[in-house]
Amino acid sequence: MPSSFGSALRVSVFGQSHSEAIGCVVEGLPSGLLVDMDALGRLMARRAPGQGPWATPRKEADLPRIVSGLNADGATCGAPLALVIENTNTRSGDYDELRRVPRPGHADLPAQLKWHGNQDVPGGGHFSGRLTAPLCAAGGIALQALATRGVRVRAHLAEVAGVRDEPFEALDNSPDARARLQRQMDRLEGRRGLPVIDDSAEGAMLAAIDAARRGLDSVGGVVECVATGLPAGMGSPMFDGLENSIARAAFGIPAVKGIEFGRGFGAARLRGSEDNDPYHLEGGRPVPSTNNAGGALGGLSTGAAVLFRLAVKPTSSIGRPQDSVDLVSGEPARLGVRGRHDPCIAPRAVPVAEAVCALALLDSWLAFPPEGAQFSLGEGRD
Amino acid sequence: MPSSFGSALRVSVFGQSHSEAIGCVVEGLPSGLLVDMDALGRLMARRAPGQGPWATPRKEADLPRIVSGLNADGATCGAPLALVIENTNTRSGDYDELRRVPRPGHADLPAQLKWHGNQDVPGGGHFSGRLTAPLCAAGGIALQALATRGVRVRAHLAEVAGVRDEPFEALDNSPDARARLQRQMDRLEGRRGLPVIDDSAEGAMLAAIDAARRGLDSVGGVVECVATGLPAGMGSPMFDGLENSIARAAFGIPAVKGIEFGRGFGAARLRGSEDNDPYHLEGGRPVPSTNNAGGALGGLSTGAAVLFRLAVKPTSSIGRPQDSVDLVSGEPARLGVRGRHDPCIAPRAVPVAEAVCALALLDSWLAFPPEGAQFSLGEGRD
Amino acid sequence: MPSSFGSALRVSVFGQSHSEAIGCVVEGLPSGLLVDMDALGRLMARRAPGQGPWATPRKEADLPRIVSGLNADGATCGAPLALVIENTNTRSGDYDELRRVPRPGHADLPAQLKWHGNQDVPGGGHFSGRLTAPLCAAGGIALQALATRGVRVRAHLAEVAGVRDEPFEALDNSPDARARLQRQMDRLEGRRGLPVIDDSAEGAMLAAIDAARRGLDSVGGVVECVATGLPAGMGSPMFDGLENSIARAAFGIPAVKGIEFGRGFGAARLRGSEDNDPYHLEGGRPVPSTNNAGGALGGLSTGAAVLFRLAVKPTSSIGRPQDSVDLVSGEPARLGVRGRHDPCIAPRAVPVAEAVCALALLDSWLAFPPEGAQFSLGEGRD
Amino acid sequence: MPSSFGSALRVSVFGQSHSEAIGCVVEGLPSGLLVDMDALGRLMARRAPGQGPWATPRKEADLPRIVSGLNADGATCGAPLALVIENTNTRSGDYDELRRVPRPGHADLPAQLKWHGNQDVPGGGHFSGRLTAPLCAAGGIALQALATRGVRVRAHLAEVAGVRDEPFEALDNSPDARARLQRQMDRLEGRRGLPVIDDSAEGAMLAAIDAARRGLDSVGGVVECVATGLPAGMGSPMFDGLENSIARAAFGIPAVKGIEFGRGFGAARLRGSEDNDPYHLEGGRPVPSTNNAGGALGGLSTGAAVLFRLAVKPTSSIGRPQDSVDLVSGEPARLGVRGRHDPCIAPRAVPVAEAVCALALLDSWLAFPPEGAQFSLGEGRD
């Protein structure tokens, strides 16, 4: 279905930019998970606007209200969990120009053609980036579930406007490299400001973003995400493999235009002898020595870190005038998008990437576990 | 489900490299399509092995038998269409080494861990590239259905081992560029040998492939695919958009490690004013002037060509010895994969990319049409 | 997924008896439907408690709030529609006995075993009949969509405690019978009190219900539902036919233990020559003369009224003491359920039957229309 | 999708009465199940035609060929299992009358209207009862999987033309009643001829069937099915409960017009104190004392036998002339169906009921197990 995904764990997102509320329903969560609302709030705060010079200064009160799915102890009870986030700024009346003149780079025009003008126009309607808030909340719960089993998911801003951060140490799978990767994740966890590993990257990124902002323009970036601690043999062949599921979910994040796993497009220029990950033994168990595959072969987890990168295009809403058309008069028109917009959306996409990664992985584990190693949280209080 | 995908058009692929047969079931095809078996054979021949120096010389008789889903006239009848391709080389006995020593870069080891040794080992089992034959057949029928509505799908070998073909003229959406794109597609349709637009690229690609083959090694590549003639407003927001569906299907092709739409990762380095596609009027209708978005915004088709690129890793099976482990003895082992293998699988992935593209697009059209513009083949003979 | 159903129209129900809120998300509604909140309120009022001596006197404010899915005009906009009904009586503390002693005839014990005691106990949690409120609201919107195409859905109380109402005139499909059926539906539409066609049935039904109530006991009944105005050829063979879909949805109503279409179990005692519906011509078109099939053959609509009956068991919660066990002490226990409960739930199941029927039929029409006759609401205001 | 069902175990049925082959694909089977082809053959023989005076004397060679999904040991390997049954009598040319004059009681006319005359007419096409052969084969494998965990599924002919067999002793759940039920199942397992528990019912049933046959007519019946040995807490609330899933699958059997669980429609006439199943302790565990609920409460298994009954209408194809219409001339027509047809289809529906029950239950167990008690076959040979 359009706005839902998942096999055993089903996430259904609802809402428009200016509807009364936005939110989501999550079916299939294992019971017995004590939801940590503070941790959820921290994750969502990383996505929220108004945190720094790269993001719109608009304030949102994005605390989700969990209206169902928990028992009296605050633990998941087996029933669908529903999250509601009230929209405070609903129904502005002054969007008539937007109805007439579709914004380049947005879904305005195709939505108009799809729904014959019934689509909800203001703020992008259901296509708004604001819809990543409930997705983030759902993913935050999945992250908490995965953490109980030792899984850790983390993303960073690998690139903004051509400025690169230090990459994750995840193409190597030696014990040393794995330790370095954990330290990179620790560092990101403790960081304020832009989510980068290398402090020195932040300044150049902020400068590029600021230059774009001053030019009434925007810049894009690359988000890199990693997940560690997964069992090998999770996932499935063909169309419900890890890559398929993560990709399907990730393209649900507005502005994502590409995804690659492990070496990704770089693998196209390697030889097989360079790209294949040989095996060695650790404690008697076979383990891939490198991780060019990004943690998945044939749709199944290898036990090495799941690693992927997302291409995030520059924010479409820019102040700089662009060519468009007036749908009512049938004449050419020029449009400079007013209001406050993020000159770079990539930083706020970082926690959303973690969220969709966690949802896709928890779903894979629940639906396609290594046989006999089902995800479970164990006994309840009785 | 693992080996099936689609919302209104459901493709379910079955078979292993050495099972009695492989094939697929396609549910949801519109009725009344006269299947052109010759055209289907031509598409499948492009995927078949043994066509040139880049591919394994093994011969296959891959003509699919359509055992159900057609009426006495050879037209689709509304019931599921089932395709069966017999396997002639089943059950070789000499795969004991493969059971013991998993091949680096294959799903051998994760499959072993997932199914506790019950997986079908020879030839990669259900993970074999051979399973793209039924996928290609299903896609070939989808291509024929789309062609009745003026849709054209074509892929080429954009890159092999770093050698580039001329790219599709699909990032521009002017009338001239669209005409040039059609001519590129014509040229590919008429071509024999490697599927490239620029004849001069073929020689360098073949040389690189041959060098890898002689070194008992392999090389990767990039496949670029385009679809023209789609209506605007097809697809859906969030998780069943065009990018989501194509990506989910494309990662079902073995060796694919990345996908990007339109400018893709390149968009991450552009400014919004460069990446946004402005609109102009053609015959009174708004049309994007450029196509950096690759034909989709917010999951919906824009009416411009759908354009994507797939990263294809180098063939994993190489003769060159690699480190692995012996699962029985628990000792390190060296493995050089014997037998004949494609030194580059990318050329054979070209028709498969067209097939999955067609399946994803026909499914999107059937399930999420622009409202009131449902895909239909019209009246039958009665 | 557990709490959702549908192919093209997906209904996902959330909430527990004592959670903060209950509600549902409906994906796939055609755009442009102006939701009539008054009509929705009237349908829901028929389901609400406290309407007569057969129902619990507890008051509920069940007005649903549509928090997303509508545009500024109040019309469906193509995005998922989300409905929220706040629960006013949440989290009572005195349910410890229920945790210890499961109620016979409820899901208390199997839920305890399924979720290891994490299930939400008070009021039956997610299994509560209260969850039919959002289902009713979703169905009410589907009813409004179907009404725009001339479809009418109506149910009545065919039987309570063995007392029978006049049955629907729907096993005959002559023009006269069809007119009589419409008059029966008119009568039900105008009626207050128990939803019966024959006024004289009401008294005996109320007497039987009252006798049960006085005996701290409960009675069951049969709900009969009919839908007219559907096109022929809607639905699909095998597992997504009309009967399959209606049955799947109807067993989602608590207390439903059986469903039959047309003659149903009675057909088991007829001969083929009696049960087959012959065809005659009306205005040049073939039409079934009788409707023993209940409007569906092979999963496809015949154009005659869809007709089905639901067996509704007596309310499980009764004051009369019953044998149970104390899960904590591991001893036998006696349990008389305290609080106010409907001595007969069947009357309140009548609008819910209409709701699930409408949802299943609209879904069938959207997903499996007669080819080329897709359900559509036509152009929007632009 | 139309011809497939299931959440974790997906069965996709293909074929038409006169297509080259019929069959099915089963995705999601646990790996490591050694398929017993002899047992499968015995189950399918019970469904095959030509076994007695109640069935058509036509011969079929219905041995399914498993073309994929097994490893070299004959055990399920994790990949989809595909079954093919060749059709020997394909494409007869003399069905022109059937194209013109639709058979009352069949899907001929609605299929014609749905697919504009593209439907496959001969023998009923995809709506043919012959399609229950692959369903039976798939169910037979599910039965073998369930048997490894102690689950037993059995159906009998509870009624034919009003003549009743002894019912299953499954409404009582005392240890004695459970033992009697097992003996009834033993008796059915050993029986030849009609599948009845009470030998004396057979004669009267055969007489009724023969009378119908001689009158060029047909009779209907009721099939009762039971499953024992399931864990409590399997299944799910609302729309994927045991009743929902079994009902959805069972209405995929042609001629089924009703289903009821436990007391079913009889419960509508009981009081709550009679219908509720009290609990007692057995070995310290709470167990329902009676089983009026038919083994499921709120969609979850109670641990008592799952019990349901199917209404099977009389065979639609009868020699006796009936009113129909000539679709070509637009005139009324009379039609007596020629050829050999079962005067009562209910006996052959008995193994099919077992098959769909097994498929629905195995799917429920795989997709919605009691948490932490996943269905698994354990380790493979490695």
Q: Inspect the interface and report whether the beta carbons of D8 and A374 lie closer than 8 Å.
A: no
Q: Inspect the interface and report whether the beta carbons of B298 and A107 lie closer than 8 Å.
A: yes
Contacts of D124 in chain B (CB under 8 A): none
Residue B130 to chain D, least CA–CA distance (Å):
13
**Window from A131-135, B324-328, C369-373 with minimum mean pLDDT:** C369-373
Mean pLDDT of C263-271: 98
For C147-186, the pLDDT digits (tens) are 999 999 999 999 999 999 999 999 999 999 999 999 999 9
- Residue B381: inside a domain, yes or no? no
Q: Inspect the interface and report whether the beta carbons of A271 and B247 lie closer than 8 Å.
A: no
3-state class (DSSP) for residue C207: helix
- Domain holding A45, by residue range, is 4-367
For C5-49, the pLDDT digits (tens) are 999 999 999 999 999 999 999 999 999 999 999 999 999 999 988
Q: Which residues of chain A have pLDDT under 50?
A: 379-382
Please choose, from the candidates A220, A341, A307, A128, the residue with its C-alpha nearest in 3D space to the C-alpha of residue B263.
A220
**Window from B26-40, C93-107, C311-325 with minimum mean pLDDT:** C93-107
Tell me the percentage of chain D whose pLDDT exceeds 70: 93
3-state class (DSSP) for residue B134: helix
Residue A70 to chain C, least CA–CA distance (Å):
7
Interface of A with D (CB under 8 A): 8, 30-32, 78-79, 237, 367, 369, 371-372, 374, 376-379
* CA atoms of A236 and A369, how far apart (whole Å): 9
- Residue A76: inside a domain, yes or no? yes
- Residue D377: inside a domain, yes or no? no
Residue D55 to chain A, least CA–CA distance (Å):
42
Residue B122 has pLDDT above 90, yes or no: no
Q: Which of C24, C101, C118 to mutate to test the interface with A (most CBs of A within 10 A)?
A: C118
Output the pLDDT for position D57: 55
Mean pLDDT of D274-299: 97
Interface B:D, Cβ pairs < 8 A: 206
Q: Which residue of A has its CA nearest to B211?
A: A271
Q: Inspect the interface and report whether the beta carbons of D272 and C315 lie closer than 8 Å.
A: yes
* CA atoms of D275 and C366, how far apart (whole Å): 39
Helix spans in B276-318 (H):
none
Mean pLDDT of C329-345: 91
For B256-270, the pLDDT digits (tens) are 999 999 999 999 999
For C196-220, the pLDDT digits (tens) are 999 999 999 999 999 999 999 999 9
Q: Inspect the interface and report whether the beta carbons of D378 and A367 lie closer than 8 Å.
A: no
CATH number at residue B63: 3.60.150.10
Could you say which DSSP state residue C105 is in?
Answer: T
Output the pLDDT for position C63: 82
Contacts of A377 in chain D (CB under 8 A): 371
Q: Inspect the interface and report whether the beta carbons of D258 and C261 lie closer than 8 Å.
A: yes
Amino acid at position C149, single letter: R
Average pLDDT over chain B, rounded to whole?
Answer: 93
ipTM of the complex: 0.96
Contacts of D30 in chain A (CB under 8 A): 371
**E-state strands within D74-217:** 81-86, 152-160, 163-164
Interface C:D, Cβ pairs < 8 A: 384
Residue D94 has pLDDT above 60, yes or no: no
For D165-203, the pLDDT digits (tens) are 999 999 999 999 999 999 999 999 999 899 999 999 999
| Helices A346-367 + A242-250 axis angle, to 10 | 140
Q: Inspect the interface and report whether the beta carbons of C212 and D325 lie closer than 8 Å.
A: no
For A315-360, the pLDDT digits (tens) are 999 999 999 999 999 999 999 988 778 999 999 999 999 999 999 9
Q: Inspect the interface and report whether the beta carbons of C371 and B367 lie closer than 8 Å.
A: no
Query: How many domains, chain D?
Result: 1
Q: Measured between CB atoms, which of A367, A372, A376 is closest to D371?
A: A376
How is residue A236 written in tokens? Answer: 């499935």
Mean pLDDT of B281-303: 97
Give residue C381's pLDDT band: very low, low, confident or very high (50, 70, 90).
very low
Residue C182 to chain D, least CA–CA distance (Å):
23
**E-state strands within D37-111:** 65-68, 81-86
- Residue D189: inside a domain, yes or no? yes
* CA atoms of C237 and C244, how far apart (whole Å): 10
Residue C61 has pLDDT above 90, yes or no: no
Output the pLDDT for position D98: 73
C partners (3+ CB pairs within 8 A) are A, B, D
Please choose, from the candidates C70, C110, C66, the residue with its C-alpha nearest in 3D space to the C-alpha of residue C84.
C66
**E-state strands within D126-184:** 152-160, 163-164
Residue B379 has pLDDT above 90, yes or no: no
Interface of B with C (CB under 8 A): 8, 30-31, 78-79, 237, 367, 369, 371-372, 374, 376-379
- Residue B342: inside a domain, yes or no? yes
Output the pLDDT for position D155: 98
Q: Tokens 């404690």, residue? A: A283
- Residue C374: inside a domain, yes or no? no
- Cα torsion through B198, B200, B204, B209, rounded to 10: 50
For C272-315, the pLDDT digits (tens) are 999 999 999 999 999 999 999 999 999 999 999 999 999 999 99
Residue A253 to chain B, least CA–CA distance (Å):
7
> Percent helix, strand, coil in chain A (nearest 5)?
30, 25, 45
Contacts of B4 in chain A (CB under 8 A): 238-239
* CA atoms of A244 and A232, how far apart (whole Å): 17
- Residue A380: inside a domain, yes or no? no
Q: Tokens 């429920």, residue? A: D364
Output the pLDDT for position D255: 97
Are C229 and C375 a contacting pair, CB within 8 Å? no
Are B213 and B345 a contacting pair, CB within 8 Å? no
Output the pLDDT for position D91: 52
Mean pLDDT of B99-111: 94
Contacts of B118 in chain D (CB under 8 A): 31-32, 71, 75-78, 380-381
Tell me the percentage of chain C whose pLDDT exceeds 70: 94
Q: Measured between CB atoms, which of C8, C31, C369 is closest to B371?
A: C31
pTM above 0.95, yes or no: yes
Residue C376 to chain A, least CA–CA distance (Å):
11
For A292-314, the pLDDT digits (tens) are 999 999 999 999 999 999 999 99
Q: Inspect the interface and report whether the beta carbons of A2 and B237 lie closer than 8 Å.
A: yes
Q: Inspect the interface and report whether the beta carbons of C79 and A118 lie closer than 8 Å.
A: no
- Residue B35: inside a domain, yes or no? yes
How is residue A239 written in tokens? Answer: 């169309």
Helix spans in chain C (H):
37-47, 96-100, 108-115, 132-147, 175-190, 199-214, 242-250, 272-275, 346-367
Q: Inspect the interface and report whether the beta carbons of C3 and D127 lie closer than 8 Å.
A: no
B322-326 and B331-335 strand pairing? antiparallel
